[in-house]
Amino acid sequence: ACPAGPRAQSTNYIIDRDVAIHARDGAILCALVVRPPGTSRRPAALEFTIYVDPDKDLQRLEYAADRGYAGVMAYVRGKGCSPQRIVPYEHDGRDANSVIDWIAGQPWSDGQVGMMGGSYDGFTQWAAAKFANRHLRTIVPVVPNNPGNGLPMQNSVFIPANYAWIYFVTDNRTLDYSTYDDPKWAALPR
């Protein structure tokens, strides 16, 4: 189980790290939440991702908080503090739907959730949208990937960079740059 993460409050943000979110099937997901100070209920900007990069994630959520949103970076099962096995794509729609419901039930939430992000995070938005959650107001997918069309191949041609990607996202709870940046993949387009 995820231990309750530290809460930090500065004059600019309220930050909750390693927030445990229970999916409907009992899996535990992990999230980082950044909000403007105060007690106002506000809409949430959610990114549901397999890419765990704590420093970059914090910056992205601060950007959302600076614009009046509660920024939520929720990680797919197995990433961050989630104890589950990492299985890209399989549970993302249902799990994102659970995260949206969790956000809507928080005292700082006004019940409105928008999703954003690109690549894998674009895919998770489409996966979440198929559940038609009444709290999901908008999605802003950028270059969403979708298995079978560009991943792992495009026009029946394998894209070699995708071979490194699976190790990059599944070797540990964050990202495996040592494998992804290995010279054997360096000549491959990304």
pLDDT > 50? residue 16 = yes
pLDDT tens digits, one per residue of 36-46: 999 899 999 99
Mean pLDDT rounded to a whole number for the chain: 89
CB-based contacts of 128, cutoff 8 Å, min separation 6: 48, 92, 93, 96, 97, 100, 115, 136, 139
pLDDT > 80? residue 5 = no
Distance CA 136, CA 79 (A): 23
Query: Across the beta sheet with 7-9, what order do the strands follow?
Result: 7-9, 14-22, 28-35, 70-75, 42-49, 109-118, 136-142
List of E strands, 12-55: 14-22, 28-35, 42-49
Q: Are 30 and 79 in contact (CB under 8 A)?
A: yes
pLDDT > 50? residue 1 = no
Report, as an integer, the average pLDDT of 14-29: 97
Higher pLDDT, 7 or 40: 40
pLDDT > 70? residue 161 = no
Q: Are 135 and 104 in contact (CB under 8 A)?
A: yes
3-state secondary structure of 175: coil
pLDDT > 90? residue 63 = yes
The pTM is what? 0.88
pLDDT band for 26, please (50, 70, 90 cuts). Answer: very high
Residue 136: CA atoms inside 13 Å, Cβ hemisphere, count?
A: 24
Q: Are 60 and 54 in contact (CB under 8 A)?
A: no
